Structure 1
């Protein structure tokens, strides 16, 4: 057993500085190079897999919520093993494994999430990334997660979901099946909705990466299809169209599967291959406006709208179709 600690120097990007990352789901939104990311409504203690994830406390001595349920299902041997292997507990953001004892799962990977208001988002991202690094060491192919820190630790659900996705993307894991398991209808729906938005959100974040690399002429024009069912986004640089995307294409972004497990940097690399003649050019007014737009998008976890049938754009773009939340038009 190897304990992956939150202070491990190899993992500092998820703890000391942002990494710039910021079954009930259609498979097209979940595939990534053989890996599946999905949500399932059910009981995590009943999962017959290589390893399940426990949302543990720093003391590693059991508790309430998912932690208590896993300890009850595993039996007293789990607590004895925790005491033996983790006499000083685990740091916030850290992860380590034990055997599953009476659980159907062979192993339990314990992750310590932060308490909202005292811990940091980087620690929450690190908890997911470190779980998946432990899973890779175990050779696990399937790993069910609870939504870490979103229960008694009080982390806002929308951000807890996005932090989970960012942790998966940061890990570079070889795990083939990543499942978010919850017994609650509303949580399952929220995760499912976030998975649906993951591809367009990564496109928006990749544009920010391109701006940071100096390609500041890249712009996006987002809106809704005439049916109102699909979000569309067109990327342009001057008179050159780089990409036309619709959520009707699922995770396919010009031949690349882009999901919650994809980093914005990886997608930015792909977008540059679509326009080999594109050169860095400054456009500071637009990039400053775009940073503000994306901050609102990530805060609301809603997609921007510049055009749609029966949409009055005179008051600016909308963040979230029908939300009424507006931002100014981009500079010319």
Structure 2
């Protein structure tokens, strides 16, 4: 992937290193309903959302924690430069899509951190991987996660890493267009969050489709994909399907506990966005998935 051709974003910040330790969530941080936030923080990848609850009572509000004010990330680090290039191109894509509907796109901030970070959704350690917090409209990423992609999933391609960022931006788009709110409303009416056809899976698959839309439109602008790039992203999507992860960690597959979708579903919806470049094709909430 010729990512150096990308427009650099000014919205990448460095939150530094927090000594806060493991994650802790209180009622104050879970504005859209605790279980939805946990599903998102459980991530695109392989983290068990329930593990984020720690030992605290999720219904008990906690005092906000202090942290150093973030500053713009140094651009002389190749990994940071990569993140800025990918985020910059997501900004171009979604600005154009929103403008076509007469709307203005609000660009998210991507905050780099090490070890742990405090957010409007609570505090989290790097163990949760990249995540989006709808409470502050920010994406959080510990760059060490890219090394984990290589060691655990044997996937280190640039486009696979770009897919990770684009997926989290997809959650930001969902937040802007009201998907988070609608999912929470459906949950409150009794709709199932988990399961092979649950709300969490549908929400994650839509973010995959949005990532594919971005890939399609950025490729039209930049012609920056190279041989093997698409396969790299598809391999990543395959490796992080709920069935693949459960088989790896448990030795068996339990569809009722799915939160992100099977490997086949994740690849299918990413490909749908990639092949069409049309957000109208990303309605994962109607019909079967």
User: With structure 2 as the length reference, what TM-score do the two structures score?
Assistant: 0.29
Larger radius of gyration: 1
Greater helix percent: which structure? 2
Higher relative contact order (CA 8 A, sep 6+): 2
